[in-house]
């Protein structure tokens, strides 16, 4: 069942989207009707106006989900599953011509020839201007200058149309004709393009890792695919062309000889080390510029201009030939592109970082699968499941090993027969170290439970210690003044600022995180209990004195219950803050927990996983809060009515 | 049970910010016999609440002393019950739990206290409300609970600081009858503070009219109306010419006092 849903996510999404659109319009219709009915009874500003309104909640949720489907390209995948494949073929064409476009002024402002020419001429000029006079002997200086002049002459020669030899012109013409042929093909496609059997056997979009199937599955796609390989061949040819006329070749050979001779010349090694080094550096700079030029990649502007028109025409035609595909791309693939790079087609833009809702759900179910051996859970731990917890683990946690040392008597020794017979103390030690099997109890397990456990333990201790201290601070001048500076000093520090310190002291396992959260919960609990205790009405306190209650009784039976609403609010707030802190702390260190999952997902850019964890955190936070609200309503019905 | 005796009672407050001294009470002397019903009347700020708080033991007089019988008061205690203007009930407890609060604090078992609670709830007219949370009660009912909570402790003196001030006229009249009824039934010494002249006349065997700056007992009356009120309807008493005469006299007195304060200020 799950597998079927997983394999048909496009279909599932299509059904869901249609339902969402339906509920979107239905809720608006119903909502408007209700508003019209009620408008007469309630004037503007009447708080009653905000009561109820589930239909607008439905509308809001539908809108959110629709926006999600739309921007994650989920609706594109649901209704136009072929489009991504076709866009992939178009992307292939773009990839195929990219070596050419990158050397022309199509994607960049200047053509590559122009950039080369300008940059190298400028560097030559600079180099000539700072020729160090006292470093080279006059003869050598003349030869170096000659090399540079040759290089400059070479650049000019290549950029002059008259010097280009006939073969190069013919090659360029051939490539231009190739592009014209592709353009023509795009404009008048010949019938008979079909998808291969291999292509049709590919998994559909979004099912396996390389998300978009690579081989063309439609006639249009097949055409683009074929033209892309034509274009790739043309690009290869283009890269082979060199603008090296005989005159240029001769000049290159001559200059090369001069450079070699100069380098070998004994006069280059005269003088002290400093001068030799300066001389060598200068020569290296000259040589570097020459080598940038000698492969003949500078072409005259006229020649390139024709080439550029041909390529541009072809690309424009490729765009036009998309036809309806162009509209689909514009409407259903917002804010991004499908890009072909090397061996795969990928979604770039929101399609990438905003995974489709159905994918997120599928990912969640994969994580929630408790069968860790067969790909369930995450990094060897389930999401939320149960396991047998050996009682000995709990016992060994509760009894520190050192207490066994305090027991009377010595540990057993080996006897003369060369055997070791443990005495009672050895057995106790084994118990304290958790080596004795005492049975097991079922216990919750998994990333979510680990996170919850940390929060709950920290909350437990935070309440246990924070509430009494807060109450005493509310009733005692000494307690208030003595503890106030400490708590007020550490409380405003963001918990994460403490994290590195705490994790160093307590270790990156549960202890450190629990202590960090405890600090958060403790401060909030102290402050809320204190506010509650000091907020007791004087007349209530006086009444209880007059009724004969002792100080201790007043604390227990009047001040504590009177502070309960504040304490409960404190618990609600600190659970929220703890939850936020925990996830961040788990991102810093550790091997389990929801924050840990997100941390790993971040490093491998698994956006689906990131969203799954975000949604898990959000919903757990929401559940906590709803639970606390319910408990508060149950426990303190007198809230706000005293 | 014994007499309540105040001797040379003075109370001076120092203003927290300015340090200026306020003589809230000066040279108060009176003796209240067991079972007497005293009402205290006076313009606002003349030290009525201060007097009551000192008797209750919430604040210590600057000089002078208060004694119940031979015992000098040095703190609050169960022998002096207090009823506040706003009930001061424990809203997290039910009516019954509020009423037996004092008994519970003294360690009386629930079984024993139950009868007491029922008896007093019946006396103040709240049968059947034992398990109602107090925040669901009306103001008048809350004051009844406060009275029951005070009475269940069997105090020697009952102190009431404007107990009916926050109630509507109708409820107020009923509660006035209830107070008289309880006074008769229990024979307790009661001090009741009020800012209503009629109420002071109806609920006082003795009546102190106090004057401010410094707070003092301006005039004392002995009145028959409380005795009458045990037998007759309070509304009838208010129509008696004798009642009107005293009322007008006191009203004029207080009016002049207020005038003096305003003129002086
Ligand atoms: N705790 C206090 N600190 C300073 N001044 C006070 C305090 N309590 C009462 N007073 C002053 O004492 C005077 C009497 O107050 P109070 O007994 O409350 O008057 P009443 O109850 O008659 O209206 C007032 O002027 C008041 O401002
Ligand atoms: Mg007062």
ipTM of the complex: 0.92
Q: Is residue A307 part of a domain?
A: yes
Task: Tell me what percent of the residues of chain A surpass a pLDDT of 70.
Answer: 99
Q: Is residue A364 part of a domain?
A: no
Instruction: Check if the beta carbon of residue A24 is closer than 8 Å to that of residue A59.
Output: yes
The C-alpha atoms of residue B253 and residue B265 are separated, in whole angstroms, by 18
Give yes or no: residues A280 and A145 share one domain.
Answer: yes
Give yes or no: residues A461 and A431 share one domain.
Answer: no
pLDDT at A642: 58
The C-alpha atoms of residue B215 and residue B64 are separated, in whole angstroms, by 15
Q: Which atom of ligand 1 is nearest to the CA of B14?
A: 4
Residue B100 exposed, middle or buried by CB count within 10 Å (0-12, 13-18, 19+): buried
CA A174 to chain centre: 46
The answer to whether the Cα torsion of A185, A187, A190, A192 is positive or negative is positive
Q: Is residue A293 part of a domain?
A: yes
Q: Looking at the complex, does the CB of residue B133 fall below 8 Å from at least one CB of chain A?
A: yes
- Ligand 2 (ion): residues with CB under 5 Å are B 49
Find the closest chain A residue to B77 by CA distance: A546
Task: Output the CA B22–ligand 1 centroid distance in Å.
Answer: 8
Give yes or no: residues A331 and A457 share one domain.
Answer: no
Q: Looking at the complex, does the CB of residue B82 fall below 8 Å from at least one CB of chain A?
A: yes
Q: Looking at the complex, does the CB of residue A548 fall below 8 Å from at least one CB of chain B?
A: yes
Domain count within chain A: 4
Q: pLDDT tens for residues A294-338?
A: 888 888 888 888 888 999 999 999 999 888 999 999 999 988 888
Q: Is residue A641 part of a domain?
A: no
Task: Output the CA A499–ligand 2 centroid distance in Å.
Answer: 54
Q: Looking at the complex, does the CB of residue B80 fall below 8 Å from at least one CB of chain A?
A: yes
Give yes or no: residues A570 and A606 share one domain.
Answer: yes
Name the helix (H) or strand (E) containing A345.
Answer: strand A344-348
The C-alpha atoms of residue B229 and residue B238 are separated, in whole angstroms, by 10
Among B9, B11, B12, B13, say which to mutate for ligand 1: greatest number of ligand atoms within 8 Å of CB. Answer: B13
Give yes or no: residues A494 and A404 share one domain.
Answer: no
Find the closest chain B residue to A555 by CA distance: B105
Q: Looking at the complex, does the CB of residue A635 fall below 8 Å from at least one CB of chain B?
A: no
Nearest Cα residue to A330 out of A139, A573, A87 = A87
Instruction: Check if the beta carbon of residue A525 is closer than 8 Å to that of residue A467.
Output: yes
Show the ligand 1 pocket: residues with CB < 6 angstroms.
Answer: B 13, 22, 24, 42, 44-50
Give yes or no: residues A147 and A171 share one domain.
Answer: yes
Give yes or no: residues A406 and A290 share one domain.
Answer: no
Q: Is residue A559 part of a domain?
A: yes
Of B88, B91, B149, the CB nearest to A539: B88
Q: Is residue A430 part of a domain?
A: yes
For the CA of B41, the nearest ligand? 1
Last residue of a domain, one of A319, A335, A351: A335
Per the structure, the complete domain to which residue A435 belongs is given by: 389-443
Q: Looking at the complex, does the CB of residue B257 fall below 8 Å from at least one CB of chain A?
A: no
Of B86, B105, B133, the CB nearest to A637: B133
Beta bridge partners of B32: B4
Write out the DSSP string of chain B.
Answer: ---EEEEEEEEEEEPTTT--EEEEEEEEEEEE-TT-EEEEE--TTSSHHHHHHHHHTSS--SEEEEEETTEEP-S--TTEEEE-TT----TTSBHHHHHTHHHHHTT--HHHHHHHHHHHHHHTT-TT-TTSBGGGS-HHHHHHHHHHHHHTT--SEEEEESTTTTS-HHHHHHHHHHHHHHHHHH--EEEEE-S-HHHHHHT-SEEEEEETTTTEEEEEEE-SHHHHHTTS-HHHHHHSHHHHHHHHHHHHHHHHHHHHHHHH-
Q: pLDDT tens for residues A281-296?
A: 888 888 888 888 888 8
The C-alpha atoms of residue A147 and residue A261 are separated, in whole angstroms, by 11
Give the residues of chain B that fall short of pLDDT 50: 264-265
Q: pLDDT tens for residues A380-425?
A: 888 888 888 888 888 887 888 888 888 888 888 888 888 888 888 8
> What is the spatial order of strands in the sheet that B63-68 belongs to?
B21-32, B4-14, B63-68, B71-72
Among B18, B21, B24, B213, say which to mutate for ligand 1: greatest number of ligand atoms within 8 Å of CB. Answer: B24
The C-alpha atoms of residue A389 and residue A396 are separated, in whole angstroms, by 12
Q: Looking at the complex, does the CB of residue A567 fall below 8 Å from at least one CB of chain B?
A: no
Q: Which atom of ligand 1 is nearest to the CA of B215?
A: 14
- Measured between beta carbons, which residues in chain B are less than 8 angstroms from residue A637? 133, 135
The C-alpha atoms of residue A586 and residue B242 are separated, in whole angstroms, by 84
Last residue of a domain, one of A50, A71, A92: A71
Q: Looking at the complex, does the CB of residue A564 fall below 8 Å from at least one CB of chain B?
A: yes
For the CA of B210, the nearest ligand? 1
Task: Output the CA B63–ligand 2 centroid distance in Å.
Answer: 21
User: Ligand 1, atom 6: nearest CA belongs to which residue?
Assistant: B13
Picking from B105, B135, B162 by the largest number of A CB atoms within 10 A of its own CB, the best residue to mutate is B105
- Measured between beta carbons, which residues in chain B are less than 8 angstroms from residue A564? 92
pLDDT at B265: 45
Picking from B78, B86, B87, B90 by the largest number of A CB atoms within 10 A of its own CB, the best residue to mutate is B90
Give yes or no: residues A606 and A581 share one domain.
Answer: yes
pLDDT at A209: 62
Rg (CA), chain B: 19
> What is the separation, in whole angstroms, between the first and last Cα of chain B?
44
The C-alpha atoms of residue A213 and residue A199 are separated, in whole angstroms, by 8
- Measured between beta carbons, which residues in chain A are less than 8 angstroms from residue B104? 557
Q: Looking at the complex, does the CB of residue A45 fall below 8 Å from at least one CB of chain B?
A: no
Give yes or no: residues A432 and A304 share one domain.
Answer: no
Find the closest chain A residue to B104 by CA distance: A549
pLDDT at A641: 65
On whether the pTM is more than 0.90, the answer is no
Q: Do B101 and A550 touch (CB under 8 A)?
A: no
Give yes or no: residues A492 and A620 share one domain.
Answer: yes
- Measured between beta carbons, which residues in chain A are less than 8 angstroms from residue B76? 542, 545-546
Q: At what angle do helices A607-635 and A447-475 cross, to 10 degrees?
A: 40
Nearest Cα residue to A68 out of A535, A608, A530 = A608
Taking residue A334's Cβ as centre, other Cβ atoms within 10 Å add up to 16
Last residue of a domain, one of A443, A468, A483: A443
For the CA of B163, the nearest ligand? 2
Task: Output the CA A520–ligand 1 centroid distance in Å.
Answer: 43
Q: Is residue A90 part of a domain?
A: no
Q: Which residues contact B207 (CB under 8 A, 6 or more apart)?
A: B38, B39, B40, B41, B200, B201, B220, B221, B223
Phi, psi for residue B22 in degrees, rounded to 5: -120, 125
CATH number of the domain residue A499 falls in: 1.10.3720.10
Task: Output the CA B222–ligand 1 centroid distance in Å.
Answer: 27
Q: Do B82 and A553 touch (CB under 8 A)?
A: no
Task: Output the CA A60–ligand 2 centroid distance in Å.
Answer: 55
Give yes or no: residues A255 and A132 share one domain.
Answer: yes
CA distance A538 to chain B (A): 9
Task: Output the CA A473–ligand 1 centroid distance in Å.
Answer: 28
Rounded to the nearest integer, the mean pLDDT of chain A is 88
User: Ligand 1, atom 27: nearest CA belongs to which residue?
Assistant: B45
Task: Output the CA B48–ligand 1 centroid distance in Å.
Answer: 8
- Measured between beta carbons, which residues in chain A are less than 8 angstroms from residue B106? 548
Q: Is residue A642 part of a domain?
A: no
- Measured between beta carbons, which residues in chain A are less than 8 angstroms from residue B73? none
Give the residues of chain A that fall short of pLDDT 50: none
Q: Looking at the complex, does the CB of residue A542 fall below 8 Å from at least one CB of chain B?
A: yes
Give yes or no: residues A407 and A540 share one domain.
Answer: no
Give the largest Cα separation in chain A, rounded. Answer: 118
């Amino acid at each position: 069942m799950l597998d079927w849903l997983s394999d048909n996510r496009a279909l599932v999404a299509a059904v869901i989207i249609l339902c969402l659109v339906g509920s979107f319009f239905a809720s608006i219709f119903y909502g408007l009707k209700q508003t019209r009915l009620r408008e007469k009874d309630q004037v503007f500003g009447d708080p009653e106006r905000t009561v109820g309104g589930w239909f607008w909640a439905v509308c809001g949720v539908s809108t959110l989900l629709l926006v999600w489907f739309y921007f994650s390209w989920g609706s594109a995948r649901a209704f136009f599953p072929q489009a991504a494949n076709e866009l992939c073929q178009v992307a292939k064409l773009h990839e195929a011509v990219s070596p050419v476009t990158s050397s022309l002024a199509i994607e960049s402002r200047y053509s590559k020839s122009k950039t080369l020419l300008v940059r190298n001429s400028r560097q030559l000029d600079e180099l000539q201007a700072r020729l160090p006079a006292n470093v080279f002997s006059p003869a050598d200086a003349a030869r170096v200058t000659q090399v540079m002049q040759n290089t400059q002459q070479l650049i000019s020669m290549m950029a002059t149309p008259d010097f280009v030899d006939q073969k190069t012109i013919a090659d360029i013409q051939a490539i231009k004709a190739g592009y014209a042929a592709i353009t023509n093909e795009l404009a008048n496609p010949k019938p008979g393009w079909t998808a291969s059997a291999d292509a049709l056997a590919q998994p559909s979009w979004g099912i396996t890792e390389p998300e978009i199937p690579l081989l063309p599955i439609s006639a249009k796609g097949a055409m683009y695919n074929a033209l892309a390989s034509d274009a790739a061949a043309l690009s290869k040819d283009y890269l082979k062309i060199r603008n090296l006329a005989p005159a240029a070749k001769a000049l290159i050979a001559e200059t090369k000889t001069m450079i070699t001779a100069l380098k070998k010349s004994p006069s280059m090694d005269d003088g002290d080390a400093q001068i030799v080094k300066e001389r060598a550096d200068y020569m290296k700079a000259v040589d570097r510029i020459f080598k940038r030029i000698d492969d003949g990649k500078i072409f005259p502007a006229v020649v390139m201009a024709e080439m550029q028109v041909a390529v541009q025409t072809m690309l424009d035609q490729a765009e036009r030939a998309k036809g309806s595909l162009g509209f689909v791309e514009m409407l259903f693939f917002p804010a991004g592109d499908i890009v072909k790079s090397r061996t795969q087609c990928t979604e770039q833009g929101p399609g990438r970082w905003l995974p489709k809702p159905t994918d997120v759900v599928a990912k969640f179910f994969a994580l929630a699968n408790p069968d860790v051996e067969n790909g369930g859970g995450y990094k060897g731990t389930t999401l939320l499941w149960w396991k047998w917890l050996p009682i000995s683990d709990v016992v060994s946690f509760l009894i520190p090993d050192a207490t066994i040392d305090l027991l009377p008597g010595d540990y057993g020794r080996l006897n003369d027969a060369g055997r070791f017979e443990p005495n009672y103390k050895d057995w106790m030690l084994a118990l304290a170290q958790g080596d004795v099997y005492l049975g097991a109890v079922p216990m919750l397990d998994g990333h979510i439970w680990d996170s919850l456990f940390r929060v709950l333990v920290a909350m437990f201790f935070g309440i246990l210690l924070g509430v009494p201290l807060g109450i005493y601070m509310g009733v005692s001048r000494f307690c208030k003044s003595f503890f106030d500076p400490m708590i007020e000093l550490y409380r405003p520090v963001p918990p994460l600022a403490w994290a590195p310190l705490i994790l160093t002291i307590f270790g990156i396992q549960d202890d450190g995180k629990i202590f960090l959260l405890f600090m958060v919960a403790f401060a909030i609990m102290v402050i809320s209990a204190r506010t509650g205790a000091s907020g007791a009405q004087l007349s209530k306190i006086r009444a209880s004195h007059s009724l004969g209650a002792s100080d201790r009784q007043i604390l227990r039976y009047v001040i504590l219950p009177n502070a309960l609403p504040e304490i409960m609010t404190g618990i609600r707030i600190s659970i929220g803050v703890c939850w936020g802190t925990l996830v961040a702390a788990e991102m810093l260190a550790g091997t389990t927990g929801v924050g840990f999952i997100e941390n790993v997902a971040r490093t491998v850019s698994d956006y689906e996983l990131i969203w799954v964890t975000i949604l898990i955190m959000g919903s757990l936070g929401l559940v906590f809060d709803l639970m606390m609200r319910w408990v508060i309503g149950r426990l303190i019905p007198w809230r706000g009515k005293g | 049970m014994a007499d309540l005796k105040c001797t040379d009672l003075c109370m001076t407050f120092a203003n927290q910010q300015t340090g200026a001294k306020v003589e809230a009470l000066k040279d108060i002397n009176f003796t209240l016999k067991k079972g007497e019903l005293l009402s205290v009347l006076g313009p606002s700020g003349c030290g009525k609440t201060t007097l009551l708080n000192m008797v209750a033991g919430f604040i210590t007089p600057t000089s002078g002393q208060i004694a119940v019988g031979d015992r000098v008061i040095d703190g609050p205690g169960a022998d002096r019950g207090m009823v506040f203007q706003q009930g001061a009930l424990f809203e997290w407890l039910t009516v019954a739990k509020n009423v037996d609060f004092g008994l519970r604090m003294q360690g009386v078992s629930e079984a024993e206290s139950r009868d007491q609670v029922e008896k007093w709830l019946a006396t103040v007219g709240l049968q059947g409300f034992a398990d109602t949370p107090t925040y669901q009660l009306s103001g008048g009912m809350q004051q009844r609970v406060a009275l029951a909570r005070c009475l269940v402790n069997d105090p020697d003196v009952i102190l009431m600081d404007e107990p009916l001030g926050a109630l509507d006229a109708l409820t107020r009249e009923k509660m006035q009858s209830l107070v008289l009824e309880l006074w008769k039934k229990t024979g307790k010494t009661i001090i009741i503070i009020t800012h209503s002249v009629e109420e002071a006349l109806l609920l006082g065997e003795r009546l102190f009219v106090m004057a401010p700056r410094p707070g003092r007992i301006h005039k004392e009356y002995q009145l028959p109306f409380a005795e009458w009120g045990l037998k007759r309807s309070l509304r009838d008493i208010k129509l008696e010419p004798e009642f009107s005469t005293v009322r007008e006299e006191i009203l004029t007195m207080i009016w002049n006092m207020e005038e003096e304060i305003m003129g002086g200020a």
